[in-house]
Chains A and B, each alone.
Chain A
Amino acid sequence: MKQESVILLLLGVFFGFIGVVYWGWGHEDGGGIMLLGAFLLGMLPGFYYLWWYRKSGGNRPEDRDDATVADGAGVVDAFPSTSIWPFVLGSGCFFIVLALTFGTWLLVPGVGLLLSALIGATAESRRGGNV
């Protein structure tokens, strides 16, 4: 996890740097703000992973050069093998976007599908399963 965090932090620092140069030189706000966003998108997860690495005390088997297959054995996680809810949720979003063009009445099926998918997927997660 350390290398992962370093990559994100380095990218963030770089974006911060060019953000300062860009804004200081040209005073163009739009680009300055977007580079600020990029800076934060590097720093926040970067520091989170660093914190997580410190807290969990060192390297995982996948971070170690000498780890063997046995080191990583055991349960990875529960994975859903099938689920209808992504399809239902996607259809809901489809109708909502069509409502932007063809009229608000399409929000009825759209939001309906969206809500049922959120409930369905949450219930499914309770029974075990990844997002």
Chain B
Amino acid sequence: MTDLIERPSTEAVPGHGAPTHGDDDHAHGGDHEHHGPSGILKWLTSTDHKVIGINYTVTSIVMMVIGGAFAEVIRAQLVSPTNTLVTFQQYNQLFTMHGSVMIYLFVGPFAFAGLANYLVPLQVGAPDMAFPRLNALSYWLYLSGSITMLLGFFVTGGPAAFGWVGYAPLTSAINAPGAGPDLWIGALMLTGFSAIFSGVNLIATIFYLRAPGMTLFRMPIFTWNMLVTGILILLAFPVLTAGLVMLYCDRHFGTHIFEVQGGGVPLLWQHIFWFWGHPEVYILALPFFGMVTEVIPTFSRKPLFGYKGMVFATLTIAALSLGVWAHHMFTTGAVLLPFFSIMSLLIAVPTGIKIFNWIGTMWGGNLVFSTAMLMAIGFVVTFLIGGITGIYLASPPLDFFTHDTYFVIAHFHSVVMALTLGAFAGIYFWFPKITGKMLHEGWGKAQFWLLFIGTQVFTVPLYIVGLHGMPRRMAVYPNNPSWQNLNEWSSVGALMIGISTLLFVVNVIQAYRKPIPAGDNPWDASTLEWFTSSPPPHHNFVSLPPIRSERPVWDYNHPDAPALAHGHHETATPPAAPAEQEAHA
């Protein structure tokens, strides 16, 4: 079935209320009515970006729960130095699957294909993604990749056990025989293509389907970040996929690309992997930067401080992120230390700009501490901890000292737990738009405090025990003074994080059992997705407001409040001045 989609030709008139109430009968020039299939067939055949976005979001949250369950087992094993809850081999499989599920199946897909799929077309005023069927294919590849990864638990020998980075020669046919490692490779190929297709779709949608007046520099920051993420995906993921093909050939067709025996170079895998892997860090992070950049101004009741600076910082981060890969390889003794160290330290600059801008946005604002806002602030704080410890690691002498200890584990868990907080900031912010229902703030705040405090209780002991020299990837550890104690605390933190997730599930269930209608724009937010109904109709918009700034819905809803109560902080983002604007493309 195809629909010929027209853009709304009517401009909504200020003061007459948003003419969008969920009913799309007269939505698109009247040339079609939407009688799609329902139930399971709807799920299998839909090409609507909103349905696909929800599929992605739900699947990736399920993956978060699965990966989190592995983490809880790991932390249970580590509560005492010589625990025997799992065997050494099972421990290796657990941390490999924990890392792989979390990175490949949770954070990335949640961010660049879940919420982004749902939101980017809405934020630019488009009826759908540019390639709806490719979009659906992305999801099916992602789902089958996830199943492939988890199938490892059901084959003889169990899943892969060589760590989420799969370093050669651990991955060779001799060191890692069996089906599990092949399933790991296959899963990454499937999810890799899925990511590439999502990247193509994001870029094409943003380049070709923006509404009139929605110039690049009026796009919401979330959409900007998704554009840059899309570009990074296209630069990085093909490299990983190529590496996986080589790895598979090494294992099965007798090539020796990564094997010393046949003249291959094991270190090449590390170059390839991290050429993908470090940009991947930003592919994972930028979407969450984008989410909190929508949340913070909304709940500070101010325009974003430094819009252009934010865009510039995002582009700079993306550019630099391709030149830092070997900071993961400092200790190999075979990389250009000064080059990679300088590039890595430079990334701190644009990242600092962002943190500065978030604080500048809150400064002097009318802060509303909703759950989404708390999660966003929790993100900034936790990310700052992870970022600062990352600066230490970018310095080779310090990295020589801490490499492969729990200090590194703590560093990147500050980062990924920040992303998890960011994910919930996004969920609490957009849940009303997506479902038309509100989440409960009380449950939400309880979840926030457990998650936020739990994160620090989980990571801080790991920093300390890492500085004491405790190595990562070990099922048992020496009973040095205070090591057990620190590990116990870390496990308590992990438990708090686990319980916080349960609170979220309760919250969602109660939102459906006792629904509170959300209305179109419950937060008085300013970007286009808040103009249409909640949830939006098929193909999104019945009418559009004039787009004269990066806050079109705010301009529309507050026609007589061009200047806001913000004082002197928004040099980069003057509120709309429709008449005077000149075309300067």
Contacts and interface: CB of A to CB of B under 8 A. Distances in A.
Chains A and B bind each other: yes
Contact of A79 (B2, B148, B271, B336): B2
Interface string A62-93: 11111111111111111111111111011101
Nearest to B130: A130
Interface in A29-73: 30-31, 34-35, 37-38, 41, 49, 59, 61-73
A76 B127 contact: yes
Contacts of B585: 2-3, 59, 63-65
A25 B11 CA distance: 57
Contact of B325 (A31, A70, A121): A31
Given A1-B207, A31-B275, A82-B36, A72 B134 contact: no
Contact of A69 (B10, B48, B272, B326): B10
Given A4-B207, A22-B339, A69-B212, A80 B11 contact: no
Interface stretch (B314-322, B481-489, B510-518): B314-322
Contacts of B235: 37-38, 41
B215 interface: yes
B9 A102 contact: no
A127 B147 CA distance: 34
A87 B136 contact: yes
Nearest to B343: A18
B34 interface: yes
Contact of B128 (A37, A79, A128): A79
Contact of B271 (A21, A30, A75, A93): A30
A91 B216 CA distance: 37
Nearest to B265: A30
Nearest to A82: B45
A93 B192 CA distance: 12
Contact of B140 (A25, A63, A91): A91
Given A74-B7, A86-B140, A101 B182 contact: yes
A111 interface: no
B322 A15 contact: yes
B293 to A, nearest CB: 19
A81 B131 CA distance: 11
Given A11-B319, A65-B585, A4 B216 contact: yes
B78 interface: no
Contacts of B217: 3
Interface string B208-233: 01111111110000000000000100
Given A11-B315, A62-B213, A62-B214, A79 B5 contact: yes
A65 B326 CA distance: 43
A15 B319 contact: yes
A70 B10 CA distance: 7
Contacts of A94: 140, 144, 147-148, 190
Given A4-B216, A129-B2, A31 B326 contact: yes
Contacts of B584: 65
A82 B322 contact: no
B306 to A, nearest CB: 19
Contacts of B183: 101
A108 interface: no
A78 B6 contact: no
Interface residues of A, number: 69
A131 B134 contact: yes
B90 interface: no
B179 A121 contact: no
Nearest to A7: B315
B538 interface: yes
A98 B140 contact: no
A8 B227 CA distance: 11
A60 B65 CA distance: 45
Contact of B182 (A28, A100, A130): A100
Given A31-B271, A70-B9, A80-B2, A131 B131 contact: yes
A100 B248 contact: yes
A121 B133 contact: yes
Contacts of B48: 81
Contacts of A8: 231
Contacts of B4: 75, 77-78, 128
A69 B186 contact: no
B583 interface: yes
B37 interface: yes
A21 B272 CA distance: 19
Nearest to A6: B216
A63 B575 CA distance: 19
B148 A30 contact: no
B3 interface: yes
A12 to B, nearest CB: 10
B216 A26 contact: no
B186 A83 contact: no
Contacts of A86: 47, 133-137, 139-140
16 contacts: A1-B207, A3-B216, A21-B339, A26-B339, A28-B335, A38-B322, A59-B583, A62-B215, A65-B585, A73-B7, A78-B5, A81-B2, A81-B34, A97-B190, A101-B155, A131-B134
Interface of A: 1-4, 7-8, 10-11, 14-15, 18, 21-22, 25-26, 28, 30-31, 34-35, 37-38, 41, 49, 59, 61-87, 89-91, 93-94, 97-98, 100-102, 121, 124, 127-131
Given A35-B322, A68-B212, 13 more contacts: A8-B231, A11-B319, A22-B336, A30-B271, A68-B213, A69-B11, A73-B7, A73-B8, A81-B538, A98-B148, A100-B182, A100-B185, A130-B132
The 9 closest A-B pairs by CB, nearest first: A90-B140, A72-B212, A73-B9, A61-B212, A86-B136, A94-B144, A67-B212, A62-B210, A129-B2
Interface of B: 1-11, 34, 36-37, 42, 44-48, 126-128, 130-137, 139-141, 143-145, 147-148, 155, 179, 182-183, 185-187, 189-190, 193, 207, 209-217, 231, 234-235, 238-239, 248, 268, 271-272, 275, 315, 318-319, 322-323, 325-326, 335-336, 339, 343, 538-539, 543-544, 546-548, 581-585
